[in-house]
Chains A and B, each alone.
Chain A
């Protein structure tokens, strides 16, 4: 994660009470609790990777599959 970004997303406080100085990285929602990384820090991290992601093979093709043609109604 840190190889592609200047942003550190390590938890700001330990998950477990007795874990001392241990800090655990956030694995993108895979923790069994809400992330302690702020949403803004997370979005800044995502944005910092945009330029690199766009050069990935298949990015443009994948993005074209994102749209949903059927109209949504409530």
Chain B
């Protein structure tokens, strides 16, 4: 059974909601790149309920980073899982404009393209190590494949709010 199907089934009785983010959402928005794990975004208030659900599925917590939790899959061929926690108000805003999608045959929701870019820009600003390379590529490719004008006012504002203009220039330089 797909991980997303397991999460849907486990969350249904308590009406918990999640958005698929990370590589799966990037793929859904048109940039088909490799991914090694699944990332979901949840409301911070639901942390304990989600931690129990994921533990009941056999996942082992390997890192608690406060705003994110990393879990290891019990199965070698199943996705490892990262949970990103956001305030309830932010979660509601992301959910309100989320895009329905089907991943591995399962109905899920992913953030709108604008919100996915905001999440990626946030990760670019605050991420560590080599993930900056992946996030930079993701942003540039999402802009390119979705034919977003890199000089759009809303895009510059997104960088100002969630990143900075140095990051904006770095990404823009990658585009044709």
Contact = CB atoms under 8 A, between A and B. Distances in A.
Interface string B122-165: 11011111110000000001000100000000000000001000
Interface residues on A, range: 20 to 34
Given A29-B32, A39-B32, A46-B36, A68 B123 contact: yes
B167 interface: no
- Residues of B contacting A: mostly: mixed
Given A46-B34, A71-B87, A65 B77 contact: no
Given A39-B28, A54-B76, A73-B86, A67 B65 contact: yes
B97 to A, nearest CB: 10
Contact of A28 (B24, B33, B67): B33
A28 B94 CA distance: 27
Contact of B24 (A29, A43, A68): A43
A13 interface: no
A65 B128 contact: yes
A50 B82 CA distance: 15
A13 to B, nearest CB: 16
Contact of B90 (A40, A47, A50, A73): A73
B78 A70 contact: no
Q: Of A39, A42, A62, A74, which is in contact with the most chain B CB atoms at under 10 Å from its CB?
A: A74
Interface of A: 26, 28-29, 34-35, 37, 39-40, 42-44, 46-48, 50-51, 53-54, 59, 62-74
